[in-house]
């Protein structure tokens, strides 16, 4: 009798596991499913902008929820009610755009760019020194998961953009532990949407050392701005010009060197059997000559070779990143004809499959 009960129990457990795998699979990119190629949009990207991306052929938008600035914002000094009012307004706008995205076959990633509590003067996020804000962060993601769990146009949840936990105090959790808590909480509510986790700062190096989290459907993301002195040159005044390919300091950068940087992620991915999503990459538009184009093309070539989905930073946000603008910093008017950088993306998007 005991043996029969044991057999029945084992059968039930196996059947439950099979049912979950068949009915609650996490639909994400594999070698057989469509890749995501798109752009990161501002919080209040309008319908005209969404339709323009559709015309270019993008099949994905990383929809950043940013409160008036980065890295510092109004959230730095806001109370919980003020933060919630902003977030609810931002999500209400996304809700209006989702039917347009659905019509165009564009999948949307909800990206919490401004975190509750904002940042301190040292750029660390306040929620790692004040547990009240950390509890708010957990609560927010439970509510977002419940809101979008049945929405097929929402592709997934990027739970924290470039989290910084250089200071962890007053009973708060560090980032890897908090990410695990939030991922488990979301998955208990939503069995279908990918959960995107960035390592500290969103960097290549920190992701290559990140401990994976035991939650199904997790995707790990990094942001590619290496070498930073090239990609971000002369944003604040004119300091020094860097070329690509070319030297940054004593090191000469070219496609082979970029590949070595990205191989850190490729090796980590293989070791941990994970999914990888490139959440941001860019080069400032006024880099000399065709250098921004050359850098972006090399990055895209490698992303494609490694079967990673990717998102450019950014579309119709800060003009310095705009591929619709030319290479003269002082000219903030979009070019009359597509720039070579815009054409690069339009050509890459031709590979897209609309979902």
For residue 25, being part of any structural domain is answered with no
Strand, coil or helix: what is 182? helix
For residue 243, being part of any structural domain is answered with yes
Residue 223 phi/psi, 5° resolution? Answer: -115, 130
Q: What tens digit of pLDDT does each residue of 265-319 get?
A: 999 999 999 999 999 999 999 999 999 999 999 999 999 999 999 999 999 999 9
For residue 250, being part of any structural domain is answered with yes
For residue 10, being part of any structural domain is answered with no
Give the model's pLDDT for residue 4: 41
Neighbouring residues of 42: CB distance < 8 A, sequence distance ≥ 6: 64, 66, 314, 315, 316, 317
Cα distance between residue 49 and residue 57, in whole Å:
13
**Which range marks the domain in which residue 191 is found?**
32-349
Number of domains within the chain: 1
Rounded (10°) angle between helices 175-189 and 131-148: 30
For residue 227, being part of any structural domain is answered with yes
**Chain centre to alpha carbon of residue 235:** 22
For residue 11, being part of any structural domain is answered with no
Range 305-344 burial, b when 16+ CB lie within 10 A, else e: ebebbbbbbbbbbeebbbbbbbbeeeeeeebeeebebbeb
Of 143, 137, 129, the closest CA to residue 112 belongs to 137
For residue 117, being part of any structural domain is answered with yes
β partners of residue 280: 223
Give the model's pLDDT for residue 239: 83
Return the H-helix or E-strand segment holding 310.
Answer: strand 309-312
For residue 4, being part of any structural domain is answered with no
Q: What tens digit of pLDDT does each residue of 165-208 get?
A: 999 999 999 999 999 999 999 999 999 999 999 999 999 999 99
User: For 105-239, where are the alpha helices, taking DSSP H only?
Assistant: 131-148, 175-189, 204-207, 228-231
Q: Compute CA distances 159 → 76, 83, 142, 195, 219, whole Å.
A: 18, 16, 11, 7, 11
- State pTM to two decimals: 0.91
Which CATH number goes with the domain that contains 306?
3.20.20.80
Give the model's pLDDT for residue 23: 34
Give the model's pLDDT for residue 162: 98
User: For 192-290, where are the alpha helices, taking DSSP H only?
Assistant: 204-207, 228-231, 255-272
Strand bridging mode 37-41 / 60-65 = parallel
Give the model's pLDDT for residue 32: 58
> Which residues in the chain come in under a pLDDT of 50?
1-26, 29
The number of residues in the chain equals 355
Give the model's pLDDT for residue 237: 81
């Amino acid at each position: 009798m005991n043996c029969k009960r044991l057999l029945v129990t084992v059968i039930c457990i196996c059947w439950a596991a099979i049912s979950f795998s068949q009915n609650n699979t996490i639909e994400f990119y594999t070698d057989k499913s469509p890749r995501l190629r798109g752009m990161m949009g501002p919080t209040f990207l309008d319908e005209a902008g969404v339709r323009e991306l559709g015309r270019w052929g993008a099949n994905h938008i990383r929809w950043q929820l940013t409160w008036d600035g980065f890295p510092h914002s109004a959230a730095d000094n806001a109370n919980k009610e003020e933060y919630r009012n902003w977030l609810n307004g931002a999500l209400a706008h996304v809700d209006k755009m989702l039917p347009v995205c659905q019509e165009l076959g564009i999948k949307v990633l909800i990206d919490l760019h401004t975190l509750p509590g904002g940042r301190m003067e040292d750029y660390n996020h306040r929620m790692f020194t004040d547990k009240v804000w950390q509890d708010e962060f957990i609560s927010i993601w439970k509510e977002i998961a419940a809101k979008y769990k049945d929405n097929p146009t929402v592709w997934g949840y990027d739970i924290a953009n470039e989290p910084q936990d250089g200071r962890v105090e007053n009973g708060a959790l560090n980032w890897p532990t908090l990410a695990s808590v939030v991922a488990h909480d979301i998955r208990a509510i939503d069995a279908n949407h990918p959960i995107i986790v960035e390592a500290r700062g969103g960097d290549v190096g920190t992701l290559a050392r990140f401990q994976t989290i035991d939650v199904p459907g997790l995707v790990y993301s990094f942001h590619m701005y290496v070498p930073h002195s090239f990609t971000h040159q002369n944003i604040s005044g004119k300091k020094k010009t860097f070329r690509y390919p070319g030297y940054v300091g004593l090191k000469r950068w070219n496609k082979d060197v970029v590949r070595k940087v990205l191989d850190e992620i490729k090796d980590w991915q293989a070791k941990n059997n994970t999914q990888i999503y490139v959440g941001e990459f860019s080069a400032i538009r006024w880099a000399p000559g065709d250098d921004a184009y050359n850098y972006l093309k090399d990055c895209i070539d490698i992303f494609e070779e490694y079967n990673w989905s990717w998102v450019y930073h950014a579309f119709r946000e800060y003009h310095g990143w705009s591929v619709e603008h030319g290479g003269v910093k002082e000219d903030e008017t979009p070019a009359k004809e597509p720039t070579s950088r815009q054409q690069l993306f339009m050509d890459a998007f031709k590979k897209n499959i609309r979902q």
